[in-house]
Amino acid sequence: MIIIILSICSLAVTFFYAFLILFLRSGWQKIPYFNKNSIVPHTKISVLIAARNEEEKIHLTIEDILAQNYPKELMEIIIVDDHSTDRTSEIIGSYESQGVKLIKLNEKEPLNSYKKKAIAEAIKLSEGELIIATDADCRMKPDWLVTIVNMFETGNYNLISSPVVYFEEKSLFERLQTLEFLCLIGLGAAGIGNKMPSTCNGANLAYKKSVFVELGGFKGIDELASGDDELFLHKVAFAHPGTIGFCKSADAIVFTHGKPNLKEFIQQRKRWASKSVKYKDKKLIFVAVAVWLFNISLLTNLIMAFFYPDFLKLVAVQFTIKFISELFFLDLLTNFVKRKHLVFHLFLLTFLHPLYLIYIGFAGNSGKYNWKDRMVN
């Protein structure tokens, strides 16, 4: 009897997972591709970066921003050095003659979130109507800013999320990350398409300065080290429903790198998962728990198969449904970023994904993690 109940429950969460993935696919399709027009932009923007120990790549990010096809008189670049111990501050300062403004954090008392503090301090000094945040290790195409601003000026948006994609992979591990991360970006876009904003990425996020001020900035979410992106998204979605967009354009993509090893990858995902404790939308909590339980059922049934061979059929059905539904979704996403070959890694990712999700589900909500050479809760 217990085996029958376990099988029924497993199939229930499996079909729910497949329905969810197809629902996300529908949400992605609801977002039209954005084609910028030739109208000259008129919005004053502030590009913000919080940087800590980024001496290796920050000059590339700055060069890409300075090379943007956006009117220089309408753009300011503010970079906050978060107590770097390398040459980050010196490198930023070398661009002062080109208009790059440097702020140095000098906090004597420990903070819950240095990144939120850095962004908040930059916004205080910013002059732009539109804040565009990115990270210190990102690369952009020349039309990145003009594309996002064009969408902002042609629609009623308080916040615009834009795509972030991993590139320059050096190993199978990094290619698997690219595929999995692409699914997360698709998840965020699909949520917006389905009028249920859930997540976004702070490496490519734009919002009105006036809305940031109106909502008290990061007040209420500042006790977590992370969350300057999706938790702020939730605040905007609650206060101003229907005013969040996703810029579905290849020109709006920001490129960054996956983690080079498993240790750094786990630390990153523990940080991301830690934000879920602040979710207030019960629908998001329900979905997150249901997906986690689905992955638990996969592992449980696989273990049960060693004792009851009939469970192999159930496991085969679950993994087949998982693989096919994810393939339908990722086929669209890989086509968008012109990386169709990544789909060939889905079979392997399908089997590895549950192990990592189960672990992160525990670790992300109960343990500490290392971020930028700091151990945080």
Residue 192: predicted pLDDT = 97
Residue 372: predicted pLDDT = 67
Cβ-based neighbour number of residue 29 at 10 Å? 11
CATH code of domain 34-274: 3.90.550.10
- 372 class by beta-carbon count within 10 Å (0-12 exposed, 13-18 middle, 19+ buried): middle
CB 148 within 8 A of CB 252: yes
Residue 232: predicted pLDDT = 93
CB 163 within 8 A of CB 337: yes
Question: Phi first, then psi: what are they for 8, rounded to 5°?
Answer: -65, -45
- Containing 51, the helix (H) or strand (E) segment is strand 45-51
* Tens-digit pLDDT string for the chain (377 aa): 667 787 888 899 999 999 999 999 999 999 999 998 888 999 999 999 999 999 999 999 999 999 999 999 999 999 999 989 999 999 999 999 999 999 998 876 666 678 888 999 999 999 999 999 999 999 999 999 999 999 999 998 999 999 999 999 999 999 999 999 999 999 999 999 999 999 999 999 999 999 999 999 888 887 776 778 899 999 999 999 999 999 999 999 999 999 999 888 888 888 877 777 667 777 888 888 889 999 999 999 888 888 888 888 999 999 999 999 999 999 999 999 999 999 999 999 999 988 888 888 777 666 566 656 666 65
Residues of the chain with CATH 3.90.550.10: 34-274
Residues 6+ apart with CB under 8 A from 93: 102
CB 295 within 8 A of CB 218: no
pTM: 0.93
Residue 42: predicted pLDDT = 95
